[in-house]
Amino acid sequence: MPNGEKTAMPRCNTLASGFVMLCMALTARAENPFESIKAFSATYVMSGISSNMHQAQVETKIYRSGSKIRTDLPGGTGYSVIDTVQRTSYMVMGSGMCMQVTAKEQQNPFAQAPDVTIERSSAGTETVDGHACKVENLTITPHSGPRAGQASKMKVWEAQDLRGFPLKIEMQTTRGVMTTQYKHVSLSEPDASLFVHPNNCRQMPNMPGTPGGSPH
């Protein structure tokens, strides 16, 4: 083999290896564990420090089908439906009253804006409720909306037997550490009727967020 070809081959191998590593890094940076599963239902338990500085815990149901996410309100008082494409939220009360909101910012981690940058680093492995989980530290930075450029940091436990579903989320907020854990997770498609809301919804002013996730 000519000397020129011998010299070129290691260079090509080095470039190829570097390209593969770059692609892997970009893929890891781009992946969003909250967008990988488009259909599920679960019970979520959110605990931490409430606004009155007492320990608080909320437990209710959440459902997702494509771009729509339903969260039952605590105590069976109603439910909310978020459309992540239209960026709207419908709040339906037990009395039948319905309010429509164009949400500027979603507090539900499954309803993030589409133009976020996610940086992730490994934090080991752990078992949660019998599920072997990959643990990661995430930094999520939105590029639009009222929090554009403001990064949120969280620790996420991704269940490997549930296609990486984020089974547990731990997030530092101005009121302390908030923990959200999802239980009884089903990856089956929820019934379409769960996402229906009345047609006579009253338009309300823009709100900073909607129920169903960890607050900032």
The verdict on residue 52 lying in a domain is yes
* Dihedral over alpha carbons 196, 200, 205, 207 (to 10 degrees): -20
pLDDT in tens, 87-143: 888 999 977 789 887 655 556 788 776 678 889 999 999 999 999 999 999 998 878
Angle at 33 between CA 114 and CA 68, to 5 degrees: 55
* Residue 8, domain member (yes or no): no
Residue 119 domain-assigned?
A: yes
* Residue 91 belongs to domain spanning: 39-203
Residue 4 resides in a domain? no
Q: How many CB atoms lie within 10 A of CB 38?
A: 13
Least confident residue range of 32-41, 55-64, 183-192: 55-64
Does 161 map to a domain? yes
Is there a contact between 107 and 154 (Cβ–Cβ < 8 Å)? Answer: no
CATH number at residue 118: 2.50.20.10
Sign of CA dihedral 139, 155, 50, 107: positive
Q: Are 141 and 61 in contact (CB under 8 A)?
A: no
Label residue 54 exposed, middle or buried (CB < 10 Å: 0-12, 13-18, 19+): exposed
Q: Using alpha carbons, select from 33, 41, 37, 59 the residue that is nearest to residue 186.
A: 41
Q: Residue 162's pLDDT is what?
A: 96
Say how many domains are in the chain.
Answer: 1
Per the domain annotation, does 188 fall within a domain? yes
Percentage, residues of the chain above pLDDT 90? 41
Per-residue confidence (pLDDT) for residue 211, from 0 to 100 = 42
139 belongs to a structural domain = yes
- Of 34-38, 46-50, 184-188, 201-205, minimum mean pLDDT range: 46-50
3-state secondary structure 107-163: CCHHHCCCCEEEEEEEEEEEEECCEEEEEEEEEEEECCCCCCCCCEEEEEEEEHHHC
Contacts of 8 (CB under 8 A, 6+ apart): none
Q: Tens digits of per-residue pLDDT, 3-37?
A: 554 544 444 444 344 433 333 333 334 478 888 89
- Closest C-alpha to 158, from 122, 186, 112: 122
For the chain, the average pLDDT equals 78
In terms of pLDDT, which residue wins out, 175 or 117?
117
Q: Is the dihedral of CA 48, 53, 59, 63 positive or negative?
A: negative
Residue 215 located in a structural domain: no
